[in-house]
Amino acid sequence: MKKDGHSHTEFCPHGSGDDVELMIQKAIKFGFSEYSITEHAPLPPDFKHDYAGAMTGLTEASMALNDLPAYFKKCQQLQAKYRGQIKINIGFELDFLPTQVAWTRDFWAEYGPQTQDNVLSIHFMQGAAAKFWCVDDTTADFKKGLLDPQNGDAQALYGQYLQALLVAVQTDLGPHAPTRLGHMTLIKKFQEYFNLPTKFSATNLALVDQLFASLKQRHFSLDLNTAGLYKPYCNETYPYSDLILRAQAAGIPLIYGSDAHSIAEVGHAYHQIEKFV
């Protein structure tokens, strides 16, 4: 079965604006039998008080709360229209924010029952001034907010991200919460810009093993996300190849994710990773 478990829509403010129906049509053309629409879930309104960095990292991160009715309506219409050609799952890519767990639980209790497939991700991490900074928005914010507070120690920053993922997976967000972890090495998006290590240290690999044990215990799958291959300062999948093999050895199901934000990105690099999924 050929599945894409991670994709976006015109409701994403940092996307291309391409119509999700055209993306689905391309997925059908490419032979996908299952396609999960996982738009960035709205951020909690109070998160703006926790956030530092460029405003685009906050204002363009996710769909708006008032877009939810239109999002569900359109996705449900497409689900019905293309039934028989492709199985369409409706869901979200949910940001784990440790200061906003109560809001997230409430959101999920209300909207989770309308979803079929969801991804749990981390795009924000605590850094300078005890504020949350966007991991993948700008190189300037990455340096000022996250790398500099670790005195430039990339392995320490990688470890901080892995610890944050571990907390995310272990936090109870309710019965309809995501059961797939998204792009677990997104922290490496700017690795070539800053000449950071491309492999995790032994200490961080031990954290990876802890994370995989938690994934297995909680029946999570892992997003094998090809978007990083096309990022100019990353040029590898999330996670990178050694960790793909490590996940397989740990018995973690791997689900291909194009993370497509445009028609052009649907099916990106599937042939490169299909042997792992």
Domain ranges of the chain: 3-276
What per-residue confidence (pLDDT) applies to 70?
98
Tokens matching residue 103: 């809001």
Single-letter amino acid code for the residue at 175: P
Count of positions (residues) in the chain: 277
- Nearest Cα to 176, choosing from 220, 116, 101, 136? 116
Tokens matching residue 195: 């000449």
3-state DSSP assignment of residue 91: strand
Given a contact cutoff of 8 angstroms between Cβ atoms, the answer to whether 162 and 204 are in contact is yes
* Alpha carbon distance 92, 39 (integer Å): 5
Query: Across the strands, what pairs with 224?
Result: 256
Which helix (H) or strand (E) segment is 167 a member of?
A: helix 154-170
What per-residue confidence (pLDDT) applies to 252?
99
* Alpha carbon distance 186, 191 (integer Å): 10
Given a contact cutoff of 8 angstroms between Cβ atoms, the answer to whether 47 and 100 are in contact is yes
Class of domain 3-276: alpha beta
Tokens matching residue 267: 């099916």
3-state DSSP assignment of residue 257: strand
Q: To the nearest whole percent, how much of the chain has pLDDT over 90?
A: 99
Q: To the nearest whole percent, how much of the chain has pLDDT over 70?
A: 100
Record the pTM. 0.97
What per-residue confidence (pLDDT) applies to 214?
99
Given a contact cutoff of 8 angstroms between Cβ atoms, the answer to whether 244 and 237 are in contact is yes
> Rg (Cα) of the chain, in Å, rounded?
18
Full pLDDT tens readout for the chain, 277 residues:
899 999 999 999 999 999 999 999 999 999 999 999 999 999 999 999 999 999 999 999 999 999 999 999 999 999 999 999 999 999 999 999 999 999 999 999 999 999 999 999 999 999 999 999 999 999 999 999 999 999 999 999 999 999 999 999 999 999 899 999 999 999 999 999 999 999 999 999 999 999 999 999 999 999 999 999 999 999 999 999 999 999 999 999 999 999 999 999 999 999 999 999 9
How crowded is residue 89: how many other Cβ atoms within 10 Å of its Cβ?
19
